[in-house]
Amino acid sequence: MERISEFEVFLKKNEEMKVDASIFISEKIRLEEDAIRQLRDACKIPSVKKVLGTPDIHIGYGVPIGSVVATEEVIIPAAVGYDINCGMRVLKTNLNAKDFDSALLAKSIRRDIPLGEGKENIKLTRNDFACVLEEGIKGLYKIKSKDHFVWDFLEKEELKDILPLIEDSGSMKGDASAVSERAKQRGQNQLGTLGGGNHFIEIQEVVYVKDKKIAEEWGIFENQIVIMIHSGSRGLGHQIGEDYMSLAKSKNYGEPHPSRELCYIPLDTKEGGNYVKAMHCAANSAFANRHIMSLLIKKNLLYHYPNAELKLLYDVPHNIAKLEEHFGKKVWVHRKGATRAFPGSRMENEIFRKTGHPVLIPGSMGSFSYLLVGTERNEKSLCSANHGAGRQMSRTQAAGKIRYRDGKVLKEGAISDEEFKKSMEGITLICENKNTIKEEAPQAYKDIDEVIRVVEGADLAKVVAKMRPLAVLKG
């Protein structure tokens, strides 16, 4: 491994690797040996064209979280991950933080959006759910059984105004027949739920605007209240990931799989085509899930602030594989814990053609989050940036070993209760399980400010605005 600049290291290919790899990272950011090994494994995939790591890189399943892998002829379920279309959505308001009660809104939202793993909310028939799987947000408008108040808010939304503000217009070409019955059962009633782990809803204040021209174009101003949602495809996506990763492991396609976890599927096979269709279904469900949660947030915001406005800034996945053109070729770009960062030149005839689309990068629940925009010089990262700060401690290392049913501490973690409490001073925290919340402590994550310094220094994206958390809802 060779450092070639302050913000990039280079992994030269060996006899097993088909391509070199790059990692955009500074010397101040911890880099795990196992994450490097996983990135090298990705370089062994048949038809691989480019592999890179983003500044939040850390060990994952098969490939690191915070990685981008481009292939021509194969699809890699593990390089998308279990939580397909886990992604970010930012909602902007016309409200000023000095006149706003963030704790009041957070507690109100908590009553309508279940937090934590395995929760259900909006009940759908199998046919209605299939419509969502195949059409995403457009499918929500075709739901026939509307026995929840959220549909009243949906019908007031102008679809033509929303879709341009969502990657792929919130609808990828899915086929519900490629999704297992078990996956459908797990996801059918989970729209409008947050999930567990690092998923969150965060009420934030814009504390600094760096690029005033772009911020004005996007409707962002200092002291503004914005709301960030981080969630994905829930049990549906996890089951699809499990189904197709297991399928890939069981098949021999000629060249060996790089590792037991990292297995590929040729796109010209039935299994490869089915994975793409199922992945799109999961992505559509995640788009719909974040949209339903936005409507539930809007309902609560308008209850407390009748004159408030809540508008979508952008919605972007960071666990997805997409066919894109790079270096003159059509390649499948797998982004796992990495977000698309297209500059304006790649968005011809789209709403963000003047600026490039917003790049949404959260920190930890006790640190700053950022709005950025891709640069015209970020093709070296396949127009990608990191999806967050990235973990520097495992969940067990951070919180210790805790018995779930009663919260008894079986092994002490690295972060004390006092340290955790201090890191969250001034922030309203609402969580489903107080016994395990230290898994998500700010100290368990990399320094988001250093991560953003690398993003800007490596010319992957540039900062438009910076936000601080006022209230956080966590699973």
CA distances from 438 to 72, 73, 76, 339 (A): 41, 42, 32, 26
Cα(101)–Cα(257) distance, rounded to whole angstroms? Answer: 53
CA distances from 398 to 27, 153, 154 (A): 22, 40, 40
Kindly state whether residue 171 falls inside one of the protein's structural domains.
Answer: yes
Predicted local confidence at residue 144, as pLDDT:
83
**In terms of residue numbers, what domain contains 356?**
2-392+445-474
Q: Which of 333, 355, 337 is nearest to 346 (CA)?
A: 355
Quote the DSSP letter at residue 281: H
Kindly state whether residue 468 falls inside one of the protein's structural domains.
Answer: yes
Q: Using 50, 70 and 90 to split pLDDT, how confident is the model at 157?
A: confident
User: What is the Cα 88 distance to its own chain's centre?
Assistant: 5
Considering the entire predicted model, what is its pTM? 0.96
Q: Which of 276, 159, 288, 272 is nearest to 229 (CA)?
A: 288
CA atoms within 13 A on the CB side of 213: 5
CATH code of the domain containing 145 = 3.90.1860.10
**399, 439 Cβ separation under 8 angstroms:** yes
Task: Tell me the pLDDT of the chain averaged across its residues.
Answer: 96
**457, 376 Cβ separation under 8 angstroms:** no
With 0-12 CB in 10 A as exposed, 13-18 as middle and 19+ as buried, what is 403?
exposed
Kindly state whether residue 431 falls inside one of the protein's structural domains.
Answer: no
Kindly state whether residue 424 falls inside one of the protein's structural domains.
Answer: no
Cα(410)–Cα(400) distance, rounded to whole angstroms? Answer: 7
Q: Using 50, 70 and 90 to split pLDDT, how confident is the model at 47?
A: very high
**pLDDT beyond 90 at 145:** no
Mean pLDDT across 15-39: 97
Q: To 10 degrees, the CA torsion angle through 253, 255, 258, 262?
A: -20
Cα(463)–Cα(90) distance, rounded to whole angstroms? Answer: 15
Higher-scoring residue by pLDDT: 72, 433: 72
| pLDDT digits 0-9 by tens, 213-248 | 999 999 999 999 999 999 999 999 999 999 999 999
Predicted local confidence at residue 448, as pLDDT:
97
Number of domains in the chain: 1
Kindly state whether residue 461 falls inside one of the protein's structural domains.
Answer: yes
Query: If phi over 0 gives left and psi between -120 and 50 gives alpha, with beta otherwise, what is residue 426?
Result: left
Predicted local confidence at residue 319, as pLDDT:
98
Kindly state whether residue 404 falls inside one of the protein's structural domains.
Answer: no
**192, 113 Cβ separation under 8 angstroms:** yes
Q: Please, which residues have CB within 8 angstroms of residue 125's CB and are 6 or more apart in sequence?
A: 144, 145
Q: Are strands 461-474 and 428-431 parallel, antiparallel or unpaired?
A: parallel
Predicted local confidence at residue 404, as pLDDT:
66
Q: To 10 degrees, the CA torsion angle through 39, 76, 171, 348?
A: 50
**352, 315 Cβ separation under 8 angstroms:** no
Q: Is 465 helix (H, G, I), strand (E, B) or coil?
A: strand
**202, 367 Cβ separation under 8 angstroms:** no
Q: Which of 39, 64, 30, 42 is nearest to 397 (CA)?
A: 30
**pLDDT beyond 90 at 199:** yes
Kindly state whether residue 430 falls inside one of the protein's structural domains.
Answer: no
Cα(375)–Cα(248) distance, rounded to whole angstroms? Answer: 36
- Share above pLDDT 70 across residues of the chain, in percent, rounded to a whole number: 100
Q: To 10 degrees, the CA torsion angle through 89, 439, 119, 190?
A: 30
Q: Please, which residues have CB within 8 angstroms of residue 250's CB and are 6 or more apart in sequence?
A: none
What is the DSSP annotation of 345-409? Answer: GG-TTSTTTTT--EEEE---TTS-EEEEEE-TT-GGGTSEEESSS-BSS-HHHHHEEE-TTT--E
Cα(229)–Cα(194) distance, rounded to whole angstroms? Answer: 9
**pLDDT beyond 70 at 351:** yes
Kindly state whether residue 375 falls inside one of the protein's structural domains.
Answer: yes
Q: Using 50, 70 and 90 to split pLDDT, how confident is the model at 156?
A: confident
Please identify every residue annotated as catalytic: 387
User: What is the Cα 68 distance to its own chain's centre?
Assistant: 14
Quote the DSSP letter at residue 445: B
Q: Which of 369, 375, 370 is nearest to 356 (CA)?
A: 375
